[in-house]
Chains A and B, each alone.
Chain A
């Protein structure tokens, strides 16, 4: 069912919201937003049943533009709000958009516990290695040695791998793409939303304004070319040695496992507690 990009935009962008959006020209957030819309279109979700939650930062503005039930939460806490929404109404499809600082610094504790808890939520983490909105301070995914406005002498801390963190914390589905690999991203988000359980899609993205510029990585196009060069697919990575994988990011589905879903388990708790037997 081929459909034009315009038709998808018309269907899912809010008509009563005045654009322009807040993102800089060339920002990867728009690519992620379009991929999300394509995935939702392909699955055929009813807009009334989609909740799109976000935290604070550039990524946090995404829900504002989209015609779903949208929830712009507090910094780092989007997953906690989403947890309440999902538990209160498990029929809703809840997708959470976060940035790297949002999800793994201020919201790091919520992130690992959401992964462990295994609610049927989809977390999309846009990782641009920097706090962009506040002016380019280092984040938990800023590489060792990198320049930022708070590490002008070189960054001395080590970066999180968001996908590995999610896997270790117990997420049922973990995948990674970049904003260069838009088609892969469509597919991974589609899989993530359809997955029964907590799914994490890490999207490596460009902040050429705050990160690329200070680290001689060029403009948006140059940075996207860098993502093409520095990534390997899961299939190819399996054939490479750790030395050969040094400095690359593996893209594709990194983990996919069947785990008990929190809301289904809680329904069993209700039965064990004697739900509906007239006893309080």
Chain B
């Protein structure tokens, strides 16, 4: 699992693929705290990061882990942490800081059953809405969901790219199934990867406005030590980064944070369609459940049912523009989730009576199987 991860077919676990994806994306700092089912990410990065002149540190808790990756990112180093639900809850305070101060970083949440200590370690998708709204206040955030070992690698690279490009924390939602499943994957060569880095200021230091957005609304980011001695705060701030209580500056701050994501929708929103072109019924799924859904759709097709699947890769911002056409085309959509309906509520929100939205929820700690989805599909 350790030697020569690139350019050969190999058997990898989802968590290991996330670690390799982070390194390939240029992550050179990881801070974490042990928690099942995410610990393999820490363990592997503790081995690999020092080899590439990176840094691994195990902090005293998840609050500290999140703080440390923000600090490292401010010093100019791409950084990541990984945890599960209880730790993700603890990170929310500092995730809000990263949103407000626009600090690029990647947070992996390998979901397990909740609430509280919950179900260690059974699969769940119970953290979807926490990933979007876990920290207080209106804030921008990007949430991606992985469904395979291959996803774990490619979407981790993508998560870093989006984080650097939009100066926003990106959450990767994995789940216990994806995390611990081993699949044979062919990881791409480094030269095949498209790696994005944050925009650095090109103006002289005394012209630098650390929180003035460019035409996309995203400010250039100087690292501590670069000679741009700027101020970073979680307080609402003006373009110079200094706290403000002036209504028009507060409004500018709030609007730019939201608009930089809105303007980036085409880059951020990712879905994958499967047998959609003539579909009359469709499964909208994400994470490991999308794997079961794909199988169920194939079986339904064999029965003559025109079924399809839309896999959500980006959960937030919710890919409305890609979901709505499916709702308009289909008679009914099935939204299976290992929670009580955290994405189906988003689907229902964008459904203007286009079709029937049917929920399928499992919260008993068990995986959603192709058979149970097939049984639902044929009755739609």
Contacts and interface: CB of A to CB of B under 8 A. Distances in A.
Given A69-B224, A80-B71, A88 B77 contact: yes
A33 B73 CA distance: 27
Interface of A: 14, 16-17, 47-49, 51, 53, 63-64, 67-74, 77, 79-89, 91-92, 109-110, 113, 266, 269-270, 272-277, 279-280
B285 interface: no
B185 interface: no
B224 A113 contact: no
Interface string B69-80: 111111111010
> Which 7 A-B pairs give the minimum distances between C-beta atoms?
A84-B71, A80-B67, A88-B75, A84-B68, A72-B233, A273-B50, A84-B72
Contacts of A83: 31, 57, 59, 64, 67-68, 71
9 contacts: A64-B231, A69-B229, A71-B233, A74-B93, A77-B67, A83-B64, A84-B29, A113-B59, A280-B52
Interface centre among A63, A64, A73 (most CB of B within 10 A): A73
A71 B232 contact: yes
A277 B51 contact: yes
Residue in A84, A92, A269, A277 with the greatest tally of chain B CB atoms within 10 Å: A84
Contact of B234 (A51, A72, A273, A276): A72
Contacts of B233: 64, 71-72
Contacts of B371: none
B234 A74 contact: yes
A266 B49 CA distance: 11
Interface stretch (B3-11, B191-199, B317-325): B3-11
A47 B229 contact: yes
Given A80-B64, A84-B31, A85-B224, A71 B229 contact: no
Contacts of B63: 77, 80, 110
B189 interface: no
Interface size bucket, B side? 35 or more
B51 A80 contact: no
A63 B65 CA distance: 23
Given A48-B227, A266-B55, A84 B50 contact: no
A273 B93 CA distance: 34
Interface of B: 3-6, 23, 28-29, 31, 47-48, 50-53, 55, 57, 59-61, 63-77, 79, 93-94, 97, 223-227, 229-235, 240, 242-243
A279 B3 contact: yes
A48 B72 contact: no
A48 to B, nearest CB: 5
A73 B68 contact: no
A71 to B, nearest CB: 5
B224 A92 contact: yes
B225 to A, nearest CB: 5
Contacts of A91: 225
B150 to A, nearest CB: 19
A88 B48 contact: no
Given A85-B71, A88-B79, A280-B4, 13 more contacts: A14-B231, A64-B242, A70-B229, A71-B224, A80-B63, A81-B71, A83-B57, A84-B72, A84-B74, A110-B60, A275-B52, A279-B4, A280-B48
Name B's interface SS.
mixed
A244 to B, nearest CB: 38
B354 to A, nearest CB: 43
Contacts of B60: 109-110, 113
A64 B97 contact: no
Nearest to A89: B75
Nearest to A47: B229
A198 to B, nearest CB: 14
Contacts of B67: 73-74, 77, 79-81, 83-84, 110
A215 B60 CA distance: 37
A87 B47 contact: no
Nearest to B60: A113
Contact of B229 (A48, A53, A270, A280): A48
A215 to B, nearest CB: 31
B235 A72 contact: yes
B74 A71 contact: yes
A79 B53 CA distance: 23
A89 B97 CA distance: 21
Contacts of B231: 14, 17, 63-64, 70-72
A89 B223 CA distance: 10
Nearest to A268: B50
A74 B77 contact: no
Given A69-B229, A83-B59, A77 B64 contact: yes
A88 B49 CA distance: 12
Nearest to B235: A72
A85 B6 contact: no
A266 B58 CA distance: 12
A277 B52 CA distance: 9
A92 B7 CA distance: 37
A48 B65 CA distance: 26
Nearest to B94: A74
B227 A273 contact: no
Contacts of B75: 51, 84-85, 88-89, 92
A51 B224 contact: yes
Given A74-B234, A109-B60, A279-B4, A82 B71 contact: yes
B71 A71 contact: yes
A270 B72 contact: no
A70 B243 contact: no
A275 B28 CA distance: 13
